[in-house]
Amino acid sequence: MNVERESFDQLVARLEQLAGRSPLTYKTRVGLLALLGYGYIFTVLAALAAILALLGLAASSGKHLHVIGKLAFPLLLLAGVILRSLWVRLAEPEGRVLAPQEVPELFAAIADLRRRLRGPRIHRVLLTDEYNASVTQTPRLGLFGWQKNHLILGLPLMHALSPEQFRAVLAHEYGHLAGAHSRFSGWIYRIRKSWHQLMEALDQQGRATFLFKKFFDWYSPFFAAYSFVLARANEYQADRAAKDLVGAHHAADALINFSIKSTLLHERFWPRVHERADREAAPAFGPYSQMAGTLNQLLATEQADQWLGAELARKTGSDDTHPCLTDRLRALGQAPRVPEPITESAAGRYLGKSLERLTDELDHDWRERAGTSWRERYEHVQKGKAELARLTEKSAQGELELQEAWDLAYWTEEIEGGAAALPRYQAVLARAAEEAAPHFAVGRLLLAQGDEAGIAHMEKALALDSARTRAASEWIGDFLYRRGREQEARRHFERAAEARQAAAEAEQERSALTTADKFAPHGLDDETLAALRERLAQQPRIAKAWLARKMLKHRPDDDPVFGLAVQTVFWYPAGKKYVSKLCEELVGVGHMYIVTVNAFDDDTHRKIGKAVKKIAGTLIYRR
């Protein structure tokens, strides 16, 4: 098990015991920890202000002004950087802004919700194409707050739920904002989200990280873990807000329908939409216009029971603050069941006469986004049909070469589906049992069909090719998770996360050269070196060039990185532009990064160049 995850689980377990044994003590600790984040920020600002005040006081004497100015100037610059860092502007959520005059029923329901829950104002109501509903806050003053509240409503969700069920969802989401039955819980909930959002923004801006990054790298995950128990309790409180507003029965039906119809969209509706790209050159229809019929159709009892059973099999864990469906229904005092079909959708009730126009807008936006990928898929399938026909005819005349047999299996899956392709992938596997690709393909299709035998093939694939660790682990984890085997799934998800982290680190260390890098002999053969020297000779400015291979920690034998240090005939003020031009022209040998090492060049470049030149045998070109 991942050490960080294990530590997190242990901390959450201890805090759950503390919260149950002494709720006041737990809440006091969480509150003090919440204040610590603000305390650190204000301490940094106060210390800086105090230093500047002392310098100002010293300057008032009229002595040593030159020295004081030298000290004050960088401190003023630092203060500016800090204030700019804290004045983080978070992007507001995107969506179609709704106005009260076009959907009066919806705004009346929101006003009633606000009055009954005694919560803050909703500043913007947005309609999106997502199967979800949420309340998001964006602070106008960065870390100092003054929140702007956005209610985000997904049209698919509004089609899936009755008006009462939809009001239950609204009450749950708005309950977080209002604090439901606990103002303290609501405050912690907002801070928990704010720290996460703001630290992401600070990371992207990259300002004042030496003062804030180390502290918040420790503080933010620790606060998230410490407040986890309260955040979980906040979910139950928000469910109680929904129960108080519309009753336990409708609140429970909302949770159940949300799950069942999410699966319906994921497993039936969207796959059928995407299949049309195989037959139609352009999407001349609108999926959101058709979605209402799918979401309100009468599902076969057996299918609905199966989807609900899979959701009920999941257990509450520390991966998510949301409790599992079983626990949420138990807290509401409701038994699991498949709800009765809805006779009126929330979309019809609350969007009223504007529903058709808003749906057309979403359909138009979807066609704009999907157009290019749709056309590429159509062209891909037409090519595949021709290739499938050719390979099928050739296979009837005798055994195909291994690559052709693989191509036949691939195009069969693309054109006819996984069930038709599986025997052909299995035939390839019989001929190449020690190759990762056929094991992965067979495992993927078996798991997609619900056959656990696919796990063994996935394990074999990642054993043969470590590059498949992430994908294979995610497939296994998803298969187990959908069947309620969450403890087993977690191990595979953690392995996938580790592989994802390793891949990110491998990409990062290949993204640039730094002064901390170590180098080794380039190891290129004579033919490759001759081609590189020929390209260097075509650059009249280059006098000498040294080449070395960067020593890598992650996958050192794959995708090499080279440092090429060049000395030009003369020093050029526009040296960086020249290096950029060289990087475009000298391609074909791994990742090639070029630095210039003239006397007046960038100090970082000269340090890297010095490290390259220290390696024996790196001088590969002299004019």
Q: What is the pLDDT of residues 215-239, one digit of tens each?
A: 777 787 788 788 888 888 888 888 9
Look at the block and give the residue holding tokens 């019929």: 293
Query: What pLDDT, on a 0 to 100 scale, did the predictor assign at position 554?
Result: 83
Residue 298 confidence (pLDDT) above 80: no
Distance CA 370, CA 246 (A): 38
pLDDT above 90 covers a percentage of the chain that reads: 42
pLDDT class of 86 with cuts at 50, 70, 90: low
Per-residue pLDDT averaged across 16-39, rounded? Answer: 84
What pLDDT does 157 receive? 96
What b/e sequence results for 495-529 when a residue is b if at least 16 CB atoms lie within 10 Å of its CB, and e otherwise?
bbbebeebeeebeebbeebeeebebeebebeeeee
DSSP state of 121: P
Q: How far apart are CA 458 and CA 438, in angstroms?
A: 10
Interval 301-337: pLDDT, tens: 888 888 998 888 888 877 778 889 999 999 999 999 9
Comparison of pLDDT for 368 and 177, the residue scoring more:
368
Predicted pLDDT at 428: 96
Q: Does domain 519-622 have CATH number 1.10.3470?
A: no
What is the per-residue burial (b if ≥16 Cβ within 10 Å, else e) of 180-215?
A: bbeeebbebbbbbebbebbbebbeeeebbeebbeee
**Spatial CB neighbours of 41, under 8 Å, sequence gap ≥ 6:** 86, 143, 212
Contact assessment for residue 44 and residue 211, using Cβ atoms and an 8 Å cutoff: yes
Instruction: HSE, CB side, 13 Å, CA atoms: give it for residue 521.
Output: 6
Q: How far apart are CA 493 and CA 481, in angstroms?
A: 10
As a whole number of angstroms, the distance between CA 470 and CA 570 comes to 49
β-strand 561-568 against 591-596: which pairing, if any?
parallel
In the block, tokens 């009346």 appear at 108
Q: Tokens 């955040």 label which residue?
A: 231
Instruction: Tell me if the domain spanning 399-509 has CATH number 1.20.1070.10.
Output: no
Nearest to 475 by CA among 503, 504, 506, 449: 449
What average pLDDT does the segment 63-90 reach? 68
Mean pLDDT (whole number) for 595-620: 78
Cβ atoms < 10 Å from Cβ of 472: 30
> Residue 151: what are its φ and ψ, rounded to 5°?
-100, 120
* Beta carbons within 10 angstroms of residue 451's beta carbon: 14
Q: What is the mean pLDDT of residues 539-563?
A: 85
Query: Which has the closest alpha carbon to 254: 324, 178, 157, 175?
Result: 157
Above pLDDT 70, what percent of the chain?
Answer: 85
Residue type, 253: D
Q: What integer pLDDT is reported at residue 586 of this predicted model? A: 57
DSSP string computed for 200-265: HHHHHHT-SHHHHHHHHHHHHHHHHHHTHHHHHHHHHHHHHHHHHHH-HHHHHHHHHHHHHHHHHI
DSSP string, 379-428: HHHHHHHHHHHHHHHHHTTSPPPHHHHHHHHHHHHHHH-HHHHHHHHHHH
- pLDDT tens for residues 476-495? 999 998 888 888 988 999 89
How does pLDDT run across 178-215, given as a tens digit for each residue?
754 455 665 666 666 666 655 565 555 444 555 666 77
236's torsion region: left (phi>0), alpha (psi -120 to 50) or beta?
alpha
In the chain, % helix, strand, coil (3-state, to 5) comes to 65, 10, 25
Better pLDDT: 430 or 553: 430
Query: Average pLDDT of 557-563?
Result: 83
pLDDT at residue 600 is higher than 60:
no
Greatest C-alpha distance within the chain: 101
Q: Sorting pLDDT into bands at 50, 70 and 90, what band is 1?
A: very low
* Token pair belonging to 471: 């994908």
| 316 CB-near residues (< 8 Å, 6+ apart) | 323, 324, 327
- The encoded tokens of residue 409 equal 């299996």
> CA torsion 315→321→322→327, rounded to 10°?
50
257 pLDDT higher than 70: yes
Residue 61's pLDDT band (cuts 50, 70, 90): confident
Take residue 246 and report the two structure tokens written for it: 């519309």
How large is the average pLDDT for residues 360-371?
95
Q: Cα separation of 250 and 42, whole Å?
A: 46
The pLDDT value recorded for residue 180 is 45
* pLDDT higher than 80, residue 434: yes
Whether the CB-CB separation of 494 and 1 falls below 8 Å is answered with yes
Confidence of residue 585 (pLDDT cuts 50, 70, 90): low
Residue 341 has pLDDT above 80, yes or no: yes
Cα–Cα–Cα angle for 435, 439, 442, rounded to 5 degrees: 145
Bridge partners, residue 599, by sequence: none
pLDDT greater at residue 145 or residue 617: 617
Instruction: Please give the pLDDT value at position 465.
Output: 92
Q: Where are the domains of the chain?
A: 1-383, 399-509, 519-622
Q: How confident is the model at residue 360 (pLDDT cuts 50, 70, 90)?
A: very high
Is 378 a residue whose pLDDT tops 90? yes
Compute the distance between CA of residue 169 and CA of residue 190 in angstroms, rounded to an integer. 18
Hey, which residues does 561 pair with through a beta bridge?
A: 591
Average pLDDT, the chain: 84
Residues 6+ apart with CB under 8 A from 614: 519
